[in-house]
Amino acid sequence: MKFGILVNEGPFTHQASDSAYRFVLAALEKGHEIYRVFFYHDGVNNANKLSEPQSDDRDLVKLWSALGTEREIDLVVCVAAALRRGVKDDILAEGFRISGLGQLIEAGVESDRLVVFGD
């Protein structure tokens, strides 16, 4: 099965990003395909390489970045949501790219399921 993933929450204020990350890992482990992960609303903060979690906390920015790079998963950050939150190309973590809502629509069309994490 081919999944599109929508992440609407940031890495430190809600469990949605962590749940999405773990879902993607489990899906890949079972042999499924991840078409794209789209970060929207506060979810764009998952791409901010300037974030610094506490040393005893998970670093979802680095985890997403590594997963996207190693597995060649398309990690797309919504341009409008990113600009509202000060997330620009120069602070994107490796593996992320900025694009528009058309990428979310395409993920929904091209995937068998679009799974949404967060409100």
45-56 confidence digits (pLDDT tens): 999 999 988 888
**Percentage of the chain with pLDDT > 90?**
91
Q: How far apart are CA 105 and CA 84, in angstroms?
A: 21
77 and 98 in contact (C-beta within 8 Å)? yes
Would you place residue 61 in the very low, low, confident or very high pLDDT band (cuts 50, 70, 90)?
very high
Sorted by sequence, the CB contacts under 8 Å of residue 28 that are 6+ apart come out as 34, 71
Would you place residue 65 in the very low, low, confident or very high pLDDT band (cuts 50, 70, 90)?
very high
pLDDT of residue 53: 86
Q: Which domain holds residue 54?
A: 2-117
pLDDT of residue 111: 98
Window from 12-21, 48-57, 81-90 with minimum mean pLDDT: 48-57
Here the CATH number for the domain that contains residue 81 is 3.40.1260.10
Would you place residue 66 in the very low, low, confident or very high pLDDT band (cuts 50, 70, 90)?
very high
Number of domains, the chain:
1
Window from 24-28, 31-35, 57-61 with minimum mean pLDDT: 57-61
Catalogue the active-site residues.
78
